[in-house]
Amino acid sequence: MDSAQDAGISPDDVLVTAGAAGALFIISTSLLSANDHLVVIRPNYATNIETPRAIGCAISFVDLAFEEGFAIDVERVKAALRPDTKLISVTCPHNPTGTMMSRTELDALVALAESSNCRLLVDETYRDLSYGRRLPTAASLSPKAISVSSLSKAFGIPGIRIGWLITRDAELQEKFLAAKEQIGICGSVIDEGIARGML
């Protein structure tokens, strides 16, 4: 779906997973080790915190505040980075507040990941519920960005467990595919058939 909507993304950049949770687990276990650090913009989906914590990663949190409209302060994210930072994690539209980043903020986070030689993970599970002009899929903006989404929330079919991750980094996608094959070999063709019909 995202490969048809955003310039620069091809079907080869998309890996179908067991829901967004499966995609997030693949990303954390493929990218992170106990020697790594990540920055989590919080609140965030629990898998983006608990899986890295189980791996033993050091985590720095950049907390969003009601008083600031849950806006992301890119300078605070930059200040939280360390030489061993492997990943910056954010949700957009934000879960649970529903707030949206601006295109300027998204571009700034992408540029920060590029300049820091780390990855930007954008959990875009609520993207198809956003109003007005949508942000581009983050992965379409840079090989350093990884996008995750699913049919669970916006499409209301969480039970079929269809999600996906997108990266334009072919080498990284091979690593993600290898992880998927170790975890679940392949997806359910019945679920994928339902998903295709829904889309």
DSSP assignment of 32-88, as one string? --TT-EEEEEES--THHHHHHHHHT-EEEEEE--GGGTT---HHHHHHH--TTEEEE
The confidence score (pLDDT) of residue 112 equals 98
- Checking if the pLDDT of 16 tops 90, the result is yes
| pLDDT tens track for 89-98 | 999 988 888 8
Of 11-15, 89-93, 155-159, 170-174, the least confident: 155-159
- Considering only the C-alpha atoms of the chain, give the largest distance between any 2 of them, rounded to a whole number of Å: 46
pTM above 0.95, yes or no: no
| pLDDT tens track for 160-185 | 999 999 999 999 999 999 999 999 88
Euclidean distance between CA atoms 51 and 86, whole angstroms: 14
Positive or negative, the CA dihedral 96, 179, 31, 106 is negative
The confidence score (pLDDT) of residue 1 equals 54
Quick one: pLDDT band at residue 77, thresholds 50, 70, 90?
Answer: very high
Residue 23 CA neighbour count, 13 Å, CB half: 27
| pLDDT tens track for 127-153 | 888 777 789 999 999 999 999 999 998
Q: 70 vs 42, 64, 74, CA distance in Å?
A: 10, 5, 12
Mean pLDDT for 33-38 is 97
**Residue 20 token pair:** 């967004």
Q: What is the mean pLDDT of the chain?
A: 93
Q: What are phi and psi of 63, to 5 degrees?
A: -85, 135
- Checking if the pLDDT of 5 tops 90, the result is no
Which range, 110-124, 153-167, 174-188, is most confident?
110-124
The confidence score (pLDDT) of residue 136 equals 94
Portion of the chain with pLDDT greater than 70, in percent: 97
Domain encompassing residue 74: 2-198
Total number of domains in the chain: 1
Look up the CATH number of the domain holding residue 43.
Answer: 3.40.640.10
Quick one: pLDDT band at residue 2, thresholds 50, 70, 90?
Answer: low
**8 Å CB contact between 44 and 90:** yes
Euclidean distance between CA atoms 37 and 39, whole angstroms: 7
